[in-house]
């Protein structure tokens, strides 16, 4: 397999958009190669006013996750999260998003998170695949008075790190191993 090094440098202001753009590029590559069909779910909006072809709207609280699709005949659903810290704060996921992932996971879909760590003084992020079962254990733990975040070292020790190669952010390689 041929690998290409990618330059991930970006401004702080565009950090969230860059990770989504990388995933969107990957999903386009997956679709173009008939590998999988995964789509970004538009964020929920409340329309405030319509004036001709201009619409004023506000973002609503996230109740859905970022992406859903199909891979190897199985539904997949996931959210992409980022942090500049060396831990993933569980508060970055809403209760509604967690319940959504939980519901789909227990109905047979492959549910997960992609977590992107932007580590200071590194040129590229560390991206990890967090299986729903790992998320669930942390979520239940915090509900019972445990840690409110998952340390980066947990990801390094127990999660699959997503690398770039033929595909920009080849996360389905990790999902495929779990199917």
The binding site for Mg(2+) comprises 66, 79, 97
Cite the annotated binding site by residue number: 66, 79, 97
**C-beta separation of 119 from 126 below 8 A:** yes
Paired tokens of 51: 């004036």
- 45 alpha carbon, distance to own chain's centre: 20
Read off the tokens for 52: 């001709």
Helix (H) or strand (E) holding 32: helix 15-32
State how far the Cα of 177 lies from the Cα of 35, in Å rounded to an integer: 15
User: What are 146's two structure tokens?
Assistant: 């445990």
Encoded tokens for 91:
């508060």
């Amino acid at each position: 397999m041929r690998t290409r090094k990618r330059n991930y440098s970006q401004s702080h202001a565009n950090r969230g958009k860059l990770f989504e753009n990388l995933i969107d590029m990957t999903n386009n590559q997956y679709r173009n190669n008939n590998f999988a069909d995964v789509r970004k779910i538009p964020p929920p909006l409340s329309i405030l006013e319509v004036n001709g072809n201009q619409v004023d709207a506000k973002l609503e609280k996230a109740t859905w996750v970022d992406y859903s699709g199909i891979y190897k005949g199985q539904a997949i659903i996931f959210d992409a999260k980022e942090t500049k810290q060396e831990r993933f704060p569980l508060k970055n996921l809403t209760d509604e998003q967690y319940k959504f992932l939980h519901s789909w996971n227990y109905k047979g879909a492959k549910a997960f998170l992609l977590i992107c760590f932007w580590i200071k003084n590194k040129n590229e992020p560390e991206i990890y695949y967090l299986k729903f079962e790992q998320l669930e254990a942390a979520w239940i733990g915090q509900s019972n008075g445990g840690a409110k975040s998952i340390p980066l070292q947990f990801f390094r020790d127990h999660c699959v790190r997503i690398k770039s190669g033929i595909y920009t952010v080849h996360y389905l390689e990790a999902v495929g191993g779990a199917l």
